[in-house]
């Protein structure tokens, strides 16, 4: 299938483009590099042995998006393009609503203009708010305590309404905590500035770019006092997109949500210890205060994706750490050096 991958220069998008090629599909990337670097494109080409078609465009521009779809004529869209920093979204809500909602609206409108019927949307476990764990797709009310999270809930609703009116097929993929990198070490997560998320921060401490990790809270009601999350390898996540694409393209799904997680709760300190083990490098840390808004425990019930998509995340925490370390140690400055 010819698949337009919006935000395909980003962390999850770049890994998904590689898995799409591996599965025999034809990805086309669109991105405006608001949170990524052009250097990733050569790396993707190197891994796949192809010259992947790329378009630079801001998807909030409806006119440009319509032109793009007219030129590319995709059979499916995987819509990753979004701003994603939870804290920043609290400080700049309008920027988040403008970018994330306008991009999604442009894409939905452009799909209609060329008769494209399949879309996979990057949603997030944040839509479950502080719901019961393990989190499953049947939770009645979605809620999120950040503007970022609310853009995910709103876009899920927008796509549901569009599907009802125009008979398109929509997969809402709710990711838990994607980490890791492609096993080649050529692509990985390349945050601009100080990382917000745990794994890239740990990797930069191990690499000597940062002095030590601050663990946000050691007094939670969890086995070791630190928060529990459901980390999954980004290549498993990318494979989940291919499975979801092939499922909705059969035409039997109107709108369906699937959790993509491992269903395993892993603590912050378990990540730190696993990273030391995988890298052979010390990761100094201090226990600091709790971070505002953090939930003690978040993990998935991944059984729906297993039963309906035939997908399970096979890669272990050790794999996630080893692959992150290979990427970090061979690209200390990310793509900026390439």
Query: Active-site residue 148, yes or no?
Result: yes
Site membership for ligand NAD, residue 124 (CB under 6 A): yes
Catalytic residue among 11, 128, 148, 175: 148
3-state per-residue secondary structure call for the chain: CEEEEECCCCHHHHHHHHHHHHCCCEEEEEECCCCCCCHHHHHHHHHHCCCCEEEECCCCCHHHHHHHHHHHCCCEEEECCCCCCHHHHHHCHHHHHHHHHHHHHHHHHHHHHHCCCEEEEEEEHHHHCCCCCCECCCCCCCCCCCHHHHHHHHHHHHHHHHHHHHCCEEEEEEECEEECCCCCCCCCCCCCCCCCCHHHHHHHHHCCCCCCEEEECCCCCCCCCCCEECEEEHHHHHHHHHHHHHHHHCCCCCEEEEEECCCCCEEHHHHHHHHHHHHCCCCCEEEECCCCCCCCECCECCHHHHHHHCCCCCCCHHHHHHHHHHHHHHCCCHHHHC
- Residue, CB closest to ligand NAD: 10
Of 32-71, binders to ligand WQD (CB under 6 A) are: none
Q: Contact region for ligand NAD (CB under 6 A) — 55-63, 155-163, 199-207, 263-271? A: 55-63
Q: Is 64 in the site for ligand NAD (CB under 6 A)?
A: no
Q: Output the smallest distance, CB 50 to ligand NAD, in A.
A: 19
88 part of the interface to ligand NAD, by CB under 6 A: no
Total interface residues for ligand WQD by CB under 6 A: 18
Query: Which CB sits closer to ligand NAD, 60 or 226?
Result: 60
**Residue 122 in contact with ligand NAD, rule: CB under 6 A:** yes
| Residues 79-138 within binding reach of ligand WQD (CB under 6 A) | 84, 86, 124, 126
Give whichever of 152 and 221 is closer to ligand NAD, judged by the CB atom. 152
Contact residues toward ligand NAD (CB under 6 A) are 7, 9-13, 31-36, 58-60, 80-84, 99, 103, 122, 124, 175, 178
């Amino acid at each position: 299938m010819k698949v337009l991958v919006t935000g395909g220069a980003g962390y999850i998008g770049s890994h998904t483009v590689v898995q799409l090629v591996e599965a025999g599909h034809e990805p086309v990337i669109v991105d405006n590099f608001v949170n990524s670097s052009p250097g990733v494109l050569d790396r993707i080409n190197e891994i796949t042995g192809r010259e992947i078609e790329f378009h630079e465009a801001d998807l909030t521009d409806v006119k440009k998006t319509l032109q793009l779809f007219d030129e590319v004529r995709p059979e499916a869209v995987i819509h990753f393009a979004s701003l994603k920093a939870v804290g920043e979204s609290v400080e700049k809500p309008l920027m988040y609503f403008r970018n994330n909602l306008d991009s999604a609206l442009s894409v939905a409108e452009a799909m209609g203009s060329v008769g494209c019927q399949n879309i996979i949307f990057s949603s997030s476990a944040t839509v479950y708010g502080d719901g019961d764990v393990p989190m499953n797709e049947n939770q009645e009310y979605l809620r999120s305590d950040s503007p970022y999270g609310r853009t995910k809930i709103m876009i899920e609703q927008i796509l549901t309404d569009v599907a009802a009116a125009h008979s398109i097929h929509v997969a809402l993929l709710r990711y838990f905590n994607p980490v890791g990198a492609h096993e080649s070490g050529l692509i990985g997560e390349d945050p601009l500035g100080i990382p917000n998320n745990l794994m890239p921060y740990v990797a930069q401490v191990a690499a000597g770019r940062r002095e030590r990790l601050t663990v946000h809270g050691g007094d939670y009601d969890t086995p070791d006092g630190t928060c529990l999350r459901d980390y999954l390898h980004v290549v498993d996540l990318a494979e989940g997109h291919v499975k979801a694409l092939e499922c909705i393209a059969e035409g039997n799904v109107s709108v369906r949500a699937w959790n993509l997680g491992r269903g395993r709760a892993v603590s912050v300190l378990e990540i730190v210890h696993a990273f030391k083990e995988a890298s052979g490098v010390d990761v100094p840390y201090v226990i600091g205060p709790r971070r505002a808004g953090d939930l003690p425990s978040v993990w998935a019930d991944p059984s729906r994706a297993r039963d309906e998509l035939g997908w399970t995340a096979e890669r272990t925490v050790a794999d996630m750490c080893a692959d992150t370390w290979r990427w970090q140690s061979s690209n200390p400055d990310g793509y900026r050096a390439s």
